[in-house]
A and B are shown apart, each in its own frame.
Chain A
Amino acid sequence: MSLRETVFAEIAAIAAEQEKAMPPITDELVMLDTEFDSLCFALLVARMEDLTGADPFSEMDASDLPVTVGDLVALYDRAATRQAA
């Protein structure tokens, strides 16, 4: 599974578990405009750390905070590249 697919799958799984109704997940989707709340987001970050070993949020500025799902995928992508380097 690619990183993008992983992120999409985890968002969908968490939304289902937390009984959040989500529009179709796309790169352009602004996560916090949906029912995907801070708890869902916190769970997503914890699970991505478990899956990838990376926690890009702990080492970045507030201005870099991802807005869209696409931003989020890019963030984990960069973290994976750093890990590989």
Chain B
Amino acid sequence: MILRERLLAAGGLDGLFLSDHRTKKDLAGIVSGEREPAATAALAGRRVLLAVGGQMAAARAMIALDGLAARLALVPPKLAPEHIARIASDAEAEICVTDAGGPAPDTLAGLPCISVDDASRAAAETPRETEWALATSGTTGAPKLVAHTLEGLAGGINKAAAPEPGTVWSTFYDIRRYGGLQVFLRAMLGPSSLVLSDAGEPVRDYLIRVGAAGVTHILGTPSHWRLALMSAALDRLAPRYVRLSGEIADQNILDALRAAFPESRIAHAYASTEGGVGFTVEDGQEGFPASLIGTRAGIEITVREDSLFVRSPRTGRRYLGATSEALIAEDGFIDTGDLVERRGERYHFLGRRSGVINVGGAKVQPEEVETVINVFPGVSMSRVRARPNPILGAVVEAEVVLRADAGEDRIAIKKAIIAHCRPRLAGHKVPASVTFVDALPITSGGKLVRRGA
């Protein structure tokens, strides 16, 4: 499967578009525009680093380069220069596709560059399978590069069915991240139109643009959706399909989205850069049914030592670069590092194994505490982290963003939040302190920044 060939073969591109905050382009024009043999020669069979500023440029390059490059490594936005250099090295990049919004040239350590305008005019005469390389979201530490095939990346997408008429996709995510790339591929393999977000764009402006473009299918992390739910522009949106992924979707956010969009399908997907798309849950409840454990549609899910393991053709193939770490164990399973707990017939996510707070030897998952805090009336979102403590090493600290209607008496609210947590959490998991903040930082991947996690 080659992206551009599929788009050409699909036909029916008339009227379909790709838009961002600046421009709107005909999909047909992007796919079948003029070709440039010199660009093809520069990129054919090469290991290519895609390091452009915006998503429109990235989308055009991805369509041109799949089937042409030997490897296509996607540099996500807002990456530190040393991490870009590391990705270039791990990808063994031979040439970089860039533009004015891309990283500074000295970041790329003498790598030859080609402009995205030239690269978009390349096209293979004899297509080959391109290996895709995606950076892990890396909320802490350096991102790792995970190799995928296009078949694997598109494994969760129903390619046999034509999209519902009038489908327009959008994503709060960047399409160079796993979750956003899923939306890009859904749009391209549909085919259907796609509205791209921009990292610097206020949520309000994005929602207005998405509403004006008639977006029907939209993806965001729970943190993206919490921000959107606080925006007065939310009523511009009338989606048929609301998708969440990338973070734990708690009952609070699922209920809030159900109330905001009573007619929509609301789905939370379990997916990761390493493990691919595992499953999607549409029953409006947090967690997932225990019946998903086992094998279905070629995806095997199992729980070992409270962690989810996945074996499927959709998972990454291996890590690229100097790391000697194996992505896939000898038995073919990937340890996702996501901790789950069974309660009755349902599994609930407890968070990342690496994010635990150690309170005198007792472990605390920040997400478990956040889930409890987030259902307290007046709370918009929260971040829980370790606060150094001379007695126990660490205690739990919560930063809380209140909604405008939460009331004025901060001391009373703080006491009430702690009192709310006490019967719902073990003693060491109850926040020792609560501070109120105006906003919490979210990574370009749409996840809460967890410093020192």
Contacts from A to B (Cβ < 8 Å): 17-18, 38-39, 41-43, 45-47, 50, 55, 57-58
* Residues on A with beta carbons closer than 8 Å to the beta carbon of B387: 46
* Residues on B with beta carbons closer than 8 Å to the beta carbon of A41: 391
On whether A46 and B433 interact (CB within 8 A), knowing A39-B360, A39-B392, the answer reads yes
The listed residue (A17, A18, A38, A58) touching B392 by CB distance below 8 A is A38
* Residues on A with beta carbons closer than 8 Å to the beta carbon of B158: none
* Interface residues of A, dominant DSSP: helix
Are A42 and B395 in contact, CB atoms less than 8 angstroms apart?
yes
Are A46 and B432 in contact, CB atoms less than 8 angstroms apart?
yes
A-B contact list, 7 entries, CB within 8 Å:
A42-B395, A42-B432, A43-B432, A45-B391, A46-B387, A46-B395, A47-B432
> Smallest CB–CB gap between A12 and chain B, Å?
15
Q: Which of B8-61 contact A (CB under 8 A)?
A: none
Give the CA-CA distance A77 to B433 in the complex, in Å: 23
Contact flags (1/0) for B368-408 with A, using CB distance below 8 Å?
A: 00000000000000000001011110010000000000000
Closest chain B residue to A58 by CB distance?
B390
Give the CA-CA distance A45 to B390 in the complex, in Å: 8
Contacts from B to A (Cβ < 8 Å): 359-360, 387, 389-392, 395, 418, 422, 427-428, 432-433
Are A55 and B427 in contact, CB atoms less than 8 angstroms apart?
no
> Smallest CB–CB gap between A43 and chain B, Å?
5
The listed residue (A38, A46, A47) touching B360 by CB distance below 8 A is A38
* Residues on A with beta carbons closer than 8 Å to the beta carbon of B392: 38-39, 42
Give the CA-CA distance A39 to B387 in the complex, in Å: 13
> Smallest CB–CB gap between B9 and chain A, Å?
63
* Residues on B with beta carbons closer than 8 Å to the beta carbon of A39: 359-360, 392, 427-428
Give the CA-CA distance A46 to B394 in the complex, in Å: 10
On whether A42 and B391 interact (CB within 8 A), knowing A17-B422, A47-B432, A50-B433, the answer reads yes
* Residues on B with beta carbons closer than 8 Å to the beta carbon of A43: 395, 432
* Residues on A with beta carbons closer than 8 Å to the beta carbon of B359: 39, 42
* Residues on B with beta carbons closer than 8 Å to the beta carbon of A17: 418, 422
Are B390 and A57 in contact, CB atoms less than 8 angstroms apart?
yes
B391, B392, B428: residue with the most chain A Cβ atoms closer than 10 Å: B391
On whether A46 and B427 interact (CB within 8 A), knowing A17-B422, A39-B360, the answer reads no
If A41-B391, A42-B392 are given as contacts, then 7 extra A-B residue pairs at C-beta distance below 8 Å, sorted by A number, are A18-B427, A39-B359, A42-B359, A46-B432, A50-B433, A55-B390, A57-B391
On whether A42 and B389 interact (CB within 8 A), knowing A18-B427, A47-B432, A50-B433, the answer reads yes
> Smallest CB–CB gap between A45 and chain B, Å?
6
* Residues on A with beta carbons closer than 8 Å to the beta carbon of B427: 18, 39
* Residues on A with beta carbons closer than 8 Å to the beta carbon of B422: 17
Give the CA-CA distance A41 to B432 in the complex, in Å: 11
> Smallest CB–CB gap between A9 and chain B, Å?
14
Give the CA-CA distance A57 to B391 in the complex, in Å: 8
> Smallest CB–CB gap between A61 and chain B, Å?
12
> Smallest CB–CB gap between A64 and chain B, Å?
12
> Smallest CB–CB gap between B369 and chain A, Å?
15
Q: Across chains A and B, which 3 residue pairs bring their CB atoms closest together, nearest first?
A: A57-B390, A42-B391, A42-B392
